[in-house]
Chain A
Amino acid sequence: AQKITQTQPGMFVQEKEAVTLDCTYDTSDPSYGLFWYKQPSSGEMIFLIYQGSYDQQNATEGRYSLNFQKARKSANLVISASQLGDSAMYFCAMRGLTGRRALTFGSGTRLQVQP
């Protein structure tokens, strides 16, 4: 079984600043994947970034990077140069190598970018 913990219900950041959204996980699988999704107020879930547990380097996608610390079981999302359009709910999720194909999600962090 997998568990995802997001301890920040809400975050504020000034436009153009960087922000880190925390995510810790727990799993007994030797191989697993970590995902981040963005959900704007319109409701659709947008896939942002993926990190495999055996990947040597931290994943990056444009302004998004994943700070993966395997020993600490953390997979924090870093958004650089925040924009007003980054205001949204952000969900961390994971899937193990074994077991079901669904993702297990955390409770989410609501990010508000202030001008």
Chain B
Amino acid sequence: DVKVTQSSRYLVKRTGEKVFLECVQDMDHENMFWYRQDPGLGLRLIYFSYDVKMKEKGDIPEGYSVSREKKERFSLILESASTNQTSMYLCASSFWREGPTGELFFGEGSRLTVL
């Protein structure tokens, strides 16, 4: 089975702290994604990556950055956490395919609270 592992299920941080959310997948997937989930808004794409050292902005990249130094690992970084970044963060991965097929495989999520 595909396994996507997020380093922390629950985090509590203070405003202004630097926060690292780590994600590792074990299926050699080319694509990796970071989403944010908020009630009533669904999942919104923050950043994604097609390959090592490659990244592209999603719909809500402000206040976030990412790093992909190895194919299996995709990190989300909050340079200076703010209270409006309190949310559930979901990492996902997928194979590259031609066309619109191919589901995303998700980690269990990281619930971040910024005080």
Q: Show the binding face of A for B, using Cβ within 8 Å.
A: 4, 6, 9, 29, 31-33, 35, 37, 42-45, 47, 50, 52-53, 91, 93-97, 100-108
Contact = CB atoms under 8 A, between A and B. Distances in A.
A101 B109 contact: no
Contact of A53 (B35, B43, B100, B105): B100
B79 to A, nearest CB: 22
Contacts of A9: 40
Contact of B100 (A42, A47, A52, A105): A52
B103 A47 contact: yes
Contact of A107 (B42, B100, B105): B42
Interface of B: 31, 33, 35, 40-45, 48, 50, 56, 58, 88, 90, 92, 94, 96, 99-109, 111
**In this complex, which of B58, B92, B102, B105 has the most chain A Cβ atoms within 10 angstroms of its Cβ?**
B102
A104 B48 CA distance: 13
A97 B106 CA distance: 21
Contact of A44 (B41, B42, B109): B109
A17 B101 CA distance: 31
Contacts of B108: 42-44
B101 A101 contact: no
A105 B109 contact: no
**In this complex, which of B31, B42, B92, B96 has the most chain A Cβ atoms within 10 angstroms of its Cβ?**
B42
